[in-house]
Structure 1
Amino acid sequence: MTHSDIKSRSTYPTILAIESSCDETSAAVIQGGKVRSNIISSQLDHAEYGGVIPELASRLHQQQIVRVVEKALSEAEVSKHDLDAVGFTRGPGLLGALLVGTCFAKSFALGLGKPLVDVNHMQAHVLANFLQEQPPEFPFLCLTVSGGHTQLVLVKDYLDMELMGETIDDAAGEAFDKAAKIMGLPYPGGPEIDKLAKQGDPKFLKFPRPDVGPYDFSFSGLKTSLLYKLKDGVKADSHFLDDHMADICASYQGAIVSVLLDKMKKAAQDAGVKHLAIAGGVSANSELRLRFQQMCNEQHWKAHIPDFQYCTDNAAMIAISAHFQFQAGKFADLDVTPFTRGGL
C-alpha cells in the first residue's frame, strides 16, 4: 500500500459499526464520515413486560446480529474485505447485550485482520450531531437525554468532552417511562406521553423543581409527586385519571422539559457557547425539540437537533464516533471487555 493510499484510508475510512447496548440490534457502514447504511432491529418482545428484560435482550441480539450485519454490508454495497476497521459499543449498557456485540466485533475484526475500535455509547450520542449536514462548531454544549442518562456535556473537540452536570437519580427517559407505567400507559411510555400531551393543558398540574446544584438534575421527586397527585385526584373523583389523562401528561412532560432547558440555558450562558445540541432517545420528544429551538432563537444561539433515526440507539452514531477515533489512531486490543456504567 502506498503512502497516498494510507493517507486516503485515514481520511476516508470504511467502517462497520455495531450497537447492542440495550434492546436495539444495529449495524451501520460509514465511508469517509458519510453513512452508507444504518440497520436497526428493535426488540418488540419486551413490550409485554413493561420494560427491557436483560436476559431476553442478550438472546435476541444473538439471534439478530448476523442478519443485521449482513444487511448493513449489503445495503452499503461494501464487501467485508473492503472494511478498514470494525467499531462497536463497549458501554455503558446491559452487560449481556454488550457482550454479544463485543464478542461479534472482536471475532469479525480478528477474522478479517482489521483494527478494532471501542466506542463509548454516551460520546456516540453526542457525536450523532455530526451526521447532520451542518454540524455544531466547537466548543458547543450538548444535552444528552435517554432512558439511562441525562447529561450536560461541554464538547471541546470530537474526542474531548467535559461533563458539566448529570442526573443524581432517575434519568429523564426513565422518569417518562415510570410515569407512564403508573398511569397504565403502554411501554415505551415516553412516546405515549408525548402523543397525549399534545391534546392537554400543561398548566393543569404543578410539579416541584428540585434544587440540586446549577447543572445537575433530579427526577425522582417529580415522579413521586405525580404518584401522590394521581392518588389524591382519584380519591376525590374515581374518573380523574380517565378524564384528565392528556392534561396530566402535558403537565408532567412540560415540567421535565422545563427542568432540562432551564439547566441547559444556565450552563450555556456560563460556558459562553453559541452552539447548542441535544441527543439521545428523549431528544425525539416533540415538545423538547420545539422549546429547545425556541430557546436558542431567543438567545441567538445555533440549535442542532439530530434526525429522528439518530436520536434513539443506532449504529450510525457508533460509526461516526469510530470514524473520528480511527482518524486519531485510537484502537482497541482484542482483550477489551465491556463496561456497564459510567459517563464520558
Structure 2
Amino acid sequence: MSLENKIILGIDTSCYTTSIAAINLGGDVLLNKKIQLKVKEGNKGLRQSEGLFQHVGNFGELFEDFKSRTGESQIVAVCASKTPRPQEGSYMPVFNAGYNFAKAISQIVGAQFYETSHQEGHIKAAQFCSNLKADRFLAVHISGGTTEILISAKNGAGFDVSLVGGSKDISAGQLLDRVGVRLGYPFPAGRVIDQNAYGYGDEKCIFKISSKDGHMNLSGVETQAYRIIESEKFDDNKKRQLSYHVLKAISEKLKKSIIYLGGKYGCNDVLFAGGVASSRFLNSEISRDLSTKGIKTYWSRPEYSADNAAGVALIGRDIYIKNGDEKNEA
C-alpha cells in the first residue's frame, strides 16, 4: 500500500471545539473538520462538564463523510491531544473525550496510538502552513484560554516548550470575547472584534497595560472597556472604535514583550498560533512593526490557527515515520 493510502487520524477536543483530521503519510491533508461547541446567548464560556458532553455528541456528525473523503485509505495510526500543554500536571477534563475516543478507534482498527498536547498541535499546525524552517523559535500562543510566549524547540515529532512570557491574568481571547459580549455580540466574539478593528484607522491607543520582562496583565483593559461601554451610548462606529483600541492594546504589549524576549533568548523568528492569531489586525500591526526590528513573523492560515486536529495528526505522522512503523507494515 502506498504512502498516499495510509493515513493518520488526529482528534482534538478543546474547551470550545471538537476537531478531527486525516493526513496521509505523504503529508496531504485529506480531511480537517471541526464543530464549535455551543454557548448559550449572553454567556461567556462553558463548564468543563458541558464541553465534555457536547464533544461526545459531535463525533457522529464529524465522521459522517469520513469514508467518502478518505476512500480506501487505511488508518495506520491515531493521535490525540491528552493535555492542554506539554507540562507535568497539565490537565482539563474536556480532553478525555477525544483521547478515549481515539484510543478506542485505534484498538478497533488495529492502528498505532499516540498522544500529544493541544499546545503542540497548535504549534505544529501553524508551522505546517507557514515558511518557518527554524528548529528553535519564539511561539506566541494566543487563544481563548491562553496568551503565552514560549521558547519552542523541535523535539522528535513534538516540541520542548518553555514559558518565558505572556499574560499573567486573563488571555487575549477572553478579553476580546468578554468585551464583545458586553457590546452585544454573540460568544465567541473575537472574529467580530477583529472585523470591526481592521481598517478602522490609526489612533493612539487609549488603554494602558502593565507589562514587565515579557509578561503583561490584560484584565485592566477589560475594566477600562466596561467603564466606557457603561458611560456612553454605542452606535456601530463607537463599537468599531472600541474594538480597534482593545486590539491595539493587545498588539502593543505583545510587540514589546516579543522584542524583549527575542533579544534575551536570541530568537529572531516568531511563530503565531491559536485562534486569536487568525486576527488580520494583529497580523498587520505586529508584522509591520517587528520587521523594523529585524524580527521575522510567521502566521498560518485561519483554519490552522484556530483549534484544529491537523497539527495533532501531523505529530502522529512524524511519530509513525520516526518509529519506522511504515517500514514494519510495508
Shorter-chain TM-score tier: 0.7 to 0.9
Distance 1:119 1:224, change over 3 A: same
Question: Does the alignment pair 1:117 with 2:114?
Answer: yes
| Aligned residue in 1 for 2:167 | 167
Shift in Å, 1:13: 6.8
| Aligned residue in 1 for 2:14 | 21
* TM-score (ref. length: structure 2): 0.85
Distance of 2:18 and 2:259 partners within structure 1 = 34
Question: Does the alignment pair 1:63 with 2:62?
Answer: no
**Residue type at the aligned position of 1:89:** S
| Aligned residue in 2 for 1:85 | 77
Report if the CA contact (8 A) 2:18-2:37 is conserved. no
Question: Does the alignment pair 1:321 with 2:315?
Answer: yes
| Aligned residue in 2 for 1:193 | 193
- The size of the alignment, in residue pairs, is 315
Q: Which structure 1 residue ranges, 5 or more long, are not aligned? A: 332-344
The structure with the greater share of residues assigned to helix is: 1
Distance of 2:239 and 2:176 partners within structure 1 = 14
Shift in Å, 1:204: 6.9
Shift in Å, 1:44: 6.0
1:1-344 to 2 correspondences below 5 Å: 14-32=7-25, 34-43=27-36, 45-46=38-39, 48-54=41-47, 55-69=49-63, 71-79=65-73, 82-92=74-84, 95-132=92-129, 134-158=131-155, 159-198=159-198, 200-201=200-201, 203=203, 206-211=206-211, 213-231=212-230, 233-234=231-232, 239=233, 244-329=238-323
**Residue type at the aligned position of 1:75:** R
**Residue type at the aligned position of 2:9:** L
The structure with the greater share of residues assigned to strand is: 2
Shift in Å, 1:283: 0.4
RMSD between superposed Cα atoms in Å? 2.8
SS of 1:84 mapped into structure 2: strand
**Residue type at the aligned position of 1:302:** K
Shift in Å, 1:78: 4.7
Distance 1:42 1:189, change over 3 A: same
Shift in Å, 1:318: 1.2
Shift in Å, 1:286: 0.9
Shift in Å, 1:305: 0.7
Range with greater deviation from structure 2 (301-310 or 60-69): 60-69
Report if the CA contact (8 A) 1:89-1:118 is conserved. yes
Report if the CA contact (8 A) 2:8-2:313 is conserved. yes
